[in-house]
Structure 1
Amino acid sequence: MYEDVRRIGPLTATIPPLEVAAAERALGLTFPPGYREFLAELGLGTYCTVVMTFGPAMVMERVQRDRQVWANHYYWKNPEVLPQAELAYCVMTARTIEGDQIVLHSGRPESVYILPRQVLEIHELPGDYRRVLDWIASAGVLYKPIQERYFQSIPSGDTRATQGGEPGTG
């Protein structure tokens, strides 16, 4: 599924599909098509130097904290797409370098939502992880379009990605 993505350096932190399945059961949701494959084929790291995908352990570690933040801070201007109360059923699976949040709703597996940090409109995209990543990288809505698709693993030994911290944040 990600054969065309150029790897920069060795893949150091791939996630087995069974770990993703266990997180789905624990969270009561189904990750979108392409998420499991992304973690199994590429692992933890950055896609096109823009998107940091979280592993299941990090998603589960952050879920309560993220929901609390969303309950207290909602500034998007199109609540018809994803009302604030519905964020109580969401989990963040990735974040961009600018802080845009990629979230899933447990009751809406057909969609993935982008909660932009600097734009006031939530984006709803079809629930296919590869399409979401490519939209972020190429649509020109959040970032200047990136033509080449590439991935860089987190440094070997950077355990924050599996223990709930954000890799690369010190």
Structure 2
Amino acid sequence: MIADETSLPALVKHFPQLVGVDMEGYGAALGSYETDARFLFVKGISDWADPKKGDDGWRPYAADAAAALVFDFLRVGAITPRQTASPSPQTNGQPVIFSGTIKYEFCKQLGLNWEDLADVLNPKVTNHERLRFRHGRWCEDFWIWLEDRGRLGELPAALRTIGREELAQLFES
């Protein structure tokens, strides 16, 4: 839950027509965004949040309706589990490492195809991770992102998937 003096004014600044905020849902969404965890927030609403809440039978109904929605989402496959990453190619148990020269040539030739490459990786680079990449230095930041996760060894196969055979060969020379 977010219950501080800055969160609500910041939301109203960006969304001036905002009428209300579910602070628990906002807190879960913010935590999910910051950690790249997916979440689904469903809440049954049964009153007007007034001090004279009575038990007029709507609370059990709202809880049942919220639970039914979640079960239907799960039943029809609207929420799917994340695919886990396949192990990165490694040599003698160590992550694959490439020289600075290969990094330089790779980034010089890749251009804006880095986004296609980021999409075909499994798991892919999330949108909020992409926003952290510096404008004009996307490829270098993408390389560091892969390197930090021990995933540089996935590049040749991913490059072939997006039709960049000549770049895939750069890693095999």
In the superposition, the TM-score normalised over structure 1's length comes to 0.23
**For the pair shown, which has the larger CA radius of gyration, 1 or 2?**
2
Higher relative contact order (CA 8 A, sep 6+): 1
Structure with a larger share of its residues in helix: 2
In the superposition, the TM-score normalised over structure 2's length comes to 0.23
Structure with a larger share of its residues in strand: 1
